[in-house]
Structure 1
């Protein structure tokens, strides 16, 4: 079974008063998921905006990844339920 898809990801970064916020939006064409992340610069630390961007973006992507895995696990459960549990685990499980 051959399958090709293109998903679009947009990453937005906002910085204000030593705090960076990130929002990442995944658009699969049929659904959309949004991840969020923040980074705070401690008062004693040197303010390096790039580091805040990296941390906030990484945290937003991590949040998005968790949501995507959760969605896949629910979908696997739905497939298993619709087949009455007849599918073997290897038929619907994906390796890490």
Structure 2
């Protein structure tokens, strides 16, 4: 059975005068809302390039959100079949033979 859905994502980035960039990503699935957070701190000796702080903070916030989604999926799987072994939801790395 085919299934299509659309989730809304909102990303907010704020950099303060000290060179700290904070990111919050909010995911709205229509049934639930999750938020991830990330922070990037510029070394005072580094050139001030706001895009780098944005990229790092946003990436860390999305990674946080991704971990939450995997955890939520595992919880849902456990509720559906509590006697089954927990599946490996982490993709394999390296070359597959």
TM-score of the alignment, normalized to the shorter chain, above 0.5: yes
Kindly indicate whether the alpha-carbon contact (under 8 Å) linking 2:25 and 2:62 is maintained by their aligned counterparts in 1.
Answer: yes
Any gaps of 5 or more consecutive residues in structure 1? none
Any gaps of 5 or more consecutive residues in structure 2? 92-97
- TM-score, scaled to structure 1: 0.85
| RMSD after superposition | 1.9
Flag the structure with higher helix content: 1
Instruction: Please list every run of at least 4 consecutive aligned residues from structure 1 whose deviation after the TM superposition is greater than 2 angstroms.
Output: 92-96
- TM-score, scaled to structure 2: 0.84
Equivalent in the alignment of 1:5? 5
Deviations 1:31-87 (A, max 9, x none): 000000000001111110000000000000000000000000000000013xxx3x6
